[in-house]
């Protein structure tokens, strides 16, 4: 388990630091089901989290909007616990089951003082998040269709390829999606969703989007294809010219 977390979430967290972290905080893991909060924006809490299993959504604003997704191997709320400031965002379970180590502020502070490499890991994670925010601004010039497809691919991680029969399910509202890609108008995202549905690339339900053709979505994300071109190609394959 250590290697997967080490590679996926904290590239500079040493194997020893990771082992010590799990050993020191293994007694009180927190489990949440999809939609349940770990903490809410504005709360004055005194702990951090280390995600071991599943993903979480980070939400901010009123009404709450998803601004990021955090993965296994990532810390959440680590700075608020140290600075003792109110939460700047809410953190909610994204997958069916999410498990996180509970890191009380005082013990978390002691751990960091004993493991300086872990502080370095936090600095790198902070820089990565800044780069993500910058990339979102840069990608704002891309067509909304491509930005939506990019978000889908990023959220599916390594699950691209032949999807299960029912497709790859993302518990994500269209408003969440608009927030993630930095779209200024929800209507433009809704239009893309309708286009993708019409092309047979996705299906939708209440706060659920199912990816039916992830490989085609990757092509759209990379700018190699449009949904319209996919529809035309599919129609040609189904009804080839006489």
Question: Do 18 and 73 fall within a single domain?
Answer: yes
**Can you tell me the mean pLDDT for 125-154?**
75
Among 97, 118, 138, residue at a domain's last position: 138
Looking at residue 93, what is its pLDDT? Answer: 94
Question: Do 196 and 171 fall within a single domain?
Answer: yes
**Can you tell me the mean pLDDT for 9-33?**
85
Burial status of residue 236 (CB atoms within 10 A of its CB: 0-12, 13-18, 19 or more): exposed
What element of type H or E holds 242? none
pLDDT exceeds cutoff 60 at 46: yes
Cis-peptide into 63, omega within 30 deg: yes
How many domains are contained in the chain? 2
Its domain, for residue 168, covers 142-238
Look up the pTM and report it.
0.68
Question: Do 234 and 125 fall within a single domain?
Answer: no
Question: Do 133 and 34 fall within a single domain?
Answer: yes
Sequence-distant (6+) residues with CB within 8 A of 23 are none
Sequence-distant (6+) residues with CB within 8 A of 46 are 81, 84, 104, 105, 106
Looking at residue 134, what is its pLDDT? Answer: 63
- Among 32-36, 132-136, 147-151, 185-189, the range scoring the smallest mean pLDDT is 132-136
Question: Do 127 and 161 fall within a single domain?
Answer: no
Question: Do 90 and 208 fall within a single domain?
Answer: no
Is-contact 166 208, C-beta < 8 A? no
Q: Higher-confidence residue: 102 or 186?
A: 102
The token pair at 18 is: 């990771």
Q: Domain of 82: which CATH number?
A: 2.60.120.10
Is-contact 215 170, C-beta < 8 A? no
Question: Do 134 and 166 fall within a single domain?
Answer: no
Among 86, 116, 138, residue at a domain's last position: 138
Question: Do 20 and 133 fall within a single domain?
Answer: yes
Question: Do 70 and 159 fall within a single domain?
Answer: no
Among 89, 114, 138, residue at a domain's last position: 138
Q: Domain of 215: which CATH number?
A: 1.10.10.10
pLDDT exceeds cutoff 80 at 234: no
Distance CA 94, CA 19 (A): 25
User: Which residue shows structure tokens 């604003």?
Assistant: 61
Buried/exposed 112-148: b ≥16 CB within 10 Å, e otherwise:
beebeebeebbeebeeeeeeeeeebeeeeeeebbbbb
- Model confidence over 190-226: pLDDT tens digits? 999 999 999 999 999 888 899 999 999 999 998 888 8
- pLDDT-above-90 percentage for the chain: 37
Buried/exposed 36-56: b ≥16 CB within 10 Å, e otherwise:
eebbebeeeeebbbbbbebbb
Looking at residue 168, what is its pLDDT? Answer: 87
């Amino acid at each position: 388990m250590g290697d997967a977390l080490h590679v996926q979430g904290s590239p500079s967290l040493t194997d020893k630091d990771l082992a010590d972290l799990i050993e020191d905080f293994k007694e009180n893991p927190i489990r949440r089901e999809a939609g349940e909060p770990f903490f809410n924006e504005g709360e004055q809490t005194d702990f951090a989290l280390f995600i071991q299993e599943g993903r979480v959504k980070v939400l901010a604003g009123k009404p709450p909007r998803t601004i990021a997704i955090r993965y296994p191997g990532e810390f959440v709320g680590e700075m608020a616990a140290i600075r003792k400031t109110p939460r700047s965002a809410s953190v909610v379970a994204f997958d069916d089951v999410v498990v996180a180590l509970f890191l009380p502020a005082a013990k978390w502070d002691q751990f960091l003082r004993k493991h300086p490499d872990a502080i370095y890991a936090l600095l790198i994670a902070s820089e990565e998040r800044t780069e993500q925010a910058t990339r979102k601004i840069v990608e704002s010039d891309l067509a909304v269709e491509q930005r939506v497809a990019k978000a889908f691919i990023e959220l599916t991680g390594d699950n691209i390829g032949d999807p299960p029969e029912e497709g790859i399910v993302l518990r994500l509202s269209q408003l969440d999606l608009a927030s993630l890609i930095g779209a200024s108008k929800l209507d433009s995202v809704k239009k893309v969703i309708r286009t993708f549905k019409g092309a047979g690339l996705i299906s939708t339900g209440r706060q659920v989007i199912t990816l039916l053709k992830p490989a085609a979505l990757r092509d759209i994300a990379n700018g190699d294809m449009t949904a319209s071109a996919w529809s035309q190609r599919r129609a040609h394959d189904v009804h080839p010219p006489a």
